[in-house]
Every structure is written in C-alpha cells, then in structure tokens.
Amino acid sequence: MAPMRIQDVLGAMRARCSRRLFGAALLLALGSSHAETLVVGPKAPMLGLADALAAAHDGDTIAVLDGEYNGEVGVILQKKLTIRGIGKRPLLRAGGRIAEGKAILVVRNGDITIENIAFQGARAPDGNGAGIRFENGHLLVKNCAFEDNEIGLLTGNVAEAELDIVDSQFSEAPKVTGSLPHLLYAGRIARLSITGSRFHEGFEGHLIKSRARRSVIAYNFIADGPGGSASYEIDLPNGGLVQIIGNIIGKSENAQNRTLVAYGSEGRPWPESALYMSHNTLLSSGAIPARFLRVFDDKLPAAAPIVVINNVSAGIGLLSPFSSGVFEGNERTLGRWLRAPQMLDFALPNDSMLRHRAVDPTRVGGQDLSPKAEFKMPIGTRAITPPAAWSAGAFQ
C-alpha cells in the first residue's frame, strides 16, 4: 500500500471525526514545515501501522485514529519519531502476532515518543512478550495503557538508554503460574522515570522492576488491588541511585510475599547506590504483617546512603526492621484511619494528630526530598504548594 499522507485523508477524517478532532489533526499536519504526519486508521483504505513505520522519516509523526487494531505490530527504526493516538485511545491488540518475537512495538534506537496508545495481549515464545520492547535511545511513553501482556514494557540492558513514563497505566498481568509477568521491567539502563502513573493487578511477578543506574519513581499509584497477587510492588535488585517520592504503594491480601519495596535484593549493585524514600503512603491489606521496605545491606556498597523520611505506613507491619540509615518523620497508622480508603482516598484526615509533624524534607541527607506534586485519580498529577508545616505521606 502506498504511503498515505495527511493531505490524502482529510476528507475521510472529516467523516470519522468530530469537528474538534478534525481541527486537532489538521494542526498536527501543519505544525511543522519539514516533518510530515502519516495517518493510520483501523479500516481500509487507511494506512496500516507497519506501512506507516516503513514510510516515516526522522522527525515525522504517525497519527493513529481511534479504534481497535488486531495484529498491527512493528519495529521503530527512525532516529526521531512520534506515534500519537487521536481521540479515544486506540487499542493495539497483539492478536497472536509479535514483532521480532519481542513485542507489539520494538523501539530500536532513537528519540521516540509514544502517546495515547493502548497495548494488549502480547505473547512471545520466550514468555516475555511486551507491549513495548525498548532497546536503546530515549523513549517517552505518555498517557498509554498496558494490559494483559506477559510484560507490559521491557527494556534492554544498554547503559545509555533512558525511559520516561508519564500518566500511564499498567495492569492485568496474565495469570500463568511460574511465568513471573512484571508489569514494567527496566534493565541496566541509564535512567528510568515514572510519574503520574498507575500499576495494579499483578500476578507473581513485580509491579515495577528496575535495574537502572538511576530510578525516579514519583507521584504514582502502585497498588495491586483486591484482584492482584504480585510479589514486590517495587523491586530495585541492583541498587542504584533511587528516589521514591510521593507515591501510594499498596500490598494486596493475596500477594506472593509481604515486602512492598525491595532494594539490593540480587546484589551486583551500581558503584553509586543510594535510596531516598520520602512522603509515600504505604498500605498493607490482610492480617499477615508486611515489611514495607527491605534493604539488603549485605549486598550493597559499604555505607550506601539510606534515607527514609516522612512516610506513612498503614496496616499491620513494620517499615524497615534491622536497616541502618536515616529514618525520621515516619508515621504508623491503620488503613481505616485514613480519610476514605474505600473510595481510594488515602490522605490523612484533616483532623489527624499525625498531621504537620514531618521533618523538613528539603534538608535531609543533602537532598531536597520534598514532593512537588501529588497523584491525581485516576491518572496524572497535580502540583502542590509547599505547606507551612509538612505532613507525612503522599498527600499534604
């Protein structure tokens, strides 16, 4: 099929789209005098995703119209490319196909943005079928959804690669015993950043596993939920420089173990390793005590800084027994003493005696560990103004 550029399909789009959506697509097309926009649609005679990937040049945008796409898989070879869903989030369903035996989309090596796309049902012969397989370069994933994939998003182990995830959802790991389906698995890359995103309904594997040299996990909802049975909520097996700030992190009653956050569990740490964990709300369901944080000190570099401040642990369990480091301003409570947990509101009540007792998060361990935002249901963040007196937990 010949490449279909935006000029060829404006009439078809006008028939399919609302006036507002049509205008937005037209602005996409006219936004650059150099780059072009290729339009992909779910039905003939629109351009297919694989055709668009083959035809696109560096700097182009592929606009994916709303709808369901079965078996539309491909490899991104461009050095710079944006793939953006238009309108209601388009669904890429693997449908028994997989690119290179790896993923629905494989990102080879470039500066790539993928926005407003859903990935579902990836299966591969090695059991690691991913919605996206990111191998090298820089990848920004924004407002995307990953569900029922063997691994939601999987990276390679290239030391220069960088991955940013913003306002996205990872859920519904396939229930295959012994398969360890992680919702997100970052290998030994340079940097992982996750903000404003939601992780739930894991199975045996971890919700987030990161071997990155630097991991920033801030203002997310990382809670398995009643239907989940994940292992760790966050696993950082090789240490690294880690900031975990302003998240809601929850352990389900059916979890595979009782640790929420694990740091250094497999050894082979990065030479520079430090854990900074502040203003998180840590939840444990059920009657079996939880370990909200487990630091494997014996597998980390000597004197690796561990700074854990202003967290709220809600439920039966201990924050981090037997760990050394800076532990200040942390509070314990029960889930039912939060504002409205049944409505997914995990803030301390306004009249809670635990409020306004936190230590100054801007001056601990040589770091500014103060939250700049809060998670906003169902996905995203909202900025906050620093209060006169800080409170523990993810909400001020």
Q: Pairing between strand 373-375 and 381-383?
A: antiparallel
Whole-prediction pTM value?
A: 0.91
Distance between CA atoms of 292 and 274, rounded to whole angstroms? 18
Q: CA nearest 167: which of 193, 204, 202, 133?
A: 193
Distance between CA atoms of 63 and 38, rounded to whole angstroms? 6
Beta bridge partners of 191: 162, 214
Model pLDDT, residue 171: 97
Q: Give me the residue label for tokens 């080879």.
A: 108
Model pLDDT, residue 388: 95
Identify whether the C-beta of residue 332 lies closer than 8 Å to the C-beta of residue 299: no
Identify whether the C-beta of residue 278 lies closer than 8 Å to the C-beta of residue 326: no
Q: Pairing between strand 137-142 and 162-166?
A: parallel
Backbone phi, psi, residue 335, to 5°: -55, -40
Distance between CA atoms of 184 and 155, rounded to whole angstroms? 9
Q: CA nearest 285: which of 335, 328, 350?
A: 335
Distance between CA atoms of 339 and 300, rounded to whole angstroms? 37
Model pLDDT, residue 14: 39
Q: Give me the residue label for tokens 């409505």.
A: 343
Identify whether the C-beta of residue 374 lies closer than 8 Å to the C-beta of residue 384: yes
Beta bridge partners of 209: 185, 235
Backbone phi, psi, residue 30, to 5°: -95, 5
Tokens of 308: 């854990």
CB atoms within 10 A of CB 100: 12
Q: What is the pLDDT along the chain (396 residues), one digit of tens a residue?
A: 334 444 444 444 433 443 333 434 434 443 444 789 999 999 878 899 999 999 999 999 999 999 999 999 999 999 999 999 999 999 999 999 999 999 999 999 999 999 999 999 999 999 999 999 999 999 999 999 999 999 999 999 999 999 999 999 999 999 988 788 999 999 999 999 999 999 999 999 999 999 999 999 999 999 998 888 899 999 999 999 999 999 999 999 888 899 999 999 999 999 999 999 999 999 999 889 999 999 999 999 988 999 999 999 999 999 998 889 999 999 999 999 999 999 999 999 999 999 999 999 998 878 899 999 999 999 999 999 999 999 999 999
Model pLDDT, residue 139: 98
Distance between CA atoms of 135 and 144, rounded to whole angstroms? 18
Backbone phi, psi, residue 194, to 5°: -130, 125
Q: Give me the residue label for tokens 């509101």.
A: 345
Tokens of 250: 């929850």
Distance between CA atoms of 229 and 206, rounded to whole angstroms? 9
Distance between CA atoms of 241 and 235, rounded to whole angstroms? 13
CB atoms within 10 A of CB 125: 8
Q: CA nearest 188: which of 165, 211, 209?
A: 211
- Give the DSSP H or E segment for 337: none
Burial per residue of 265-297, b for 16 or more beta-carbon CB atoms within 10 angstroms, e otherwise = beeebbeebbbbbbbbbbbbbeeeebbbbbbbb
**Angle at the Cα of 100 (from 98 to 105), degrees rounded to 5?**
60
Q: Pairing between strand 214-218 and 191-195?
A: parallel
CB atoms within 10 A of CB 355: 19
Beta bridge partners of 210: 186
